[in-house]
Amino acid sequence: MGEGALAAVAGLRLSTATAITACTALKISRDEMIRTMHEESHFSQLFLKFLLEQSMRIQANLVDQLFNSSERRLARILLLMAEFGQPDGPEEYIPKISQETLAEMVGTTRSRVSYFMNRFRKLGLIEYNGHIKIHKSLLNAVLLDQMPSDIPRDL
């Protein structure tokens, strides 16, 4: 977070970050960051790798926003939060998060998120009672392009 400040006009904020778990943030001045990148080649390589990965995530999010329904975007966000596809395996439970925050991430309303979460729960894709447990079936529904709207109603 904050990497955009290196290239932006000083004092201009182009994005916002929201922590969903307890964390500690470190503020590094722009001048200090630039100095460190010049002097520490290993750090510069790590930071460049991070920037490239961030750029790829932004592109994926843009494609997701343009071509996928809000229901599919919510499913993708839940899977990303559960870290499905990571080498260490998925976390079954994602950090506690409000429907309002999910709605902001998806780009829809809280009531739509509530509706989709209830549908996911009824279809057995998630367990949801304060904490959210993601089932592999949600990943399969996204990968096989069979979101709940595509699943016959008699299931």
Residues 74 and 28 in one domain: no
Whether residues 58 and 92 fall in one domain: no
What pLDDT sits at residue 54?
Answer: 85
Instruction: State the residue range of the domain holding 26.
Output: 3-65
CA 15 to chain centre: 15
Domain for residue 155, yes or no? Answer: no
pLDDT exceeds cutoff 70 at 122: yes
The per-residue pLDDT for range 52-99, each reduced to its tens digit, is 998 898 888 888 788 888 998 999 899 888 876 565 655 678 888 889
Domain identity same for 54 and 80:
no
Number of domain units in the chain: 2
Supply the pLDDT for residue 84. Answer: 64
Same domain, 51 and 74: no
Quick one: 61 and 73 in the same domain?
no
Residues 86 and 135 in one domain: yes
pLDDT for 82 equals: 85
User: Are 89 and 114 in the same domain?
Assistant: yes
Rounded CA gap, 122 and 62, in Å? 29
**Domain match, 78 and 60 both:** no
Q: Is the pLDDT of residue 148 over 50?
A: yes
Q: How confident is the model at residue 155 (pLDDT cuts 50, 70, 90)?
A: very low
Instruction: Express each pLDDT in 23-52 by its tens digit.
Output: 888 888 888 988 999 999 999 999 999 889
> Across-strand partners of 133?
93, 127
At 113, list the tokens: 């998120």
21: left (phi over 0), alpha (psi -120 to 50) or beta: beta
User: Per the structure block, which two tokens stand in for 38?
Assistant: 């010049």
- End of a domain among 29, 49, 65? 65
Nearest alpha carbon to residue 77 among 55, 52, 57, 49: 57
Q: Which residues pair with 126 in a beta bridge?
A: 134
pLDDT of residue 153 exceeding 50, the answer is no
Looking at residue 93, which CATH number applies to its domain? 1.10.10.10
Of residues 101 and 145, more confidently modeled:
101
What is the DSSP secondary structure assignment for residue 92, as one 8-state letter?
A: S
Residue 7 lies in a domain: yes
Specify the pairing of strand 131-134 against strand 126-129.
antiparallel
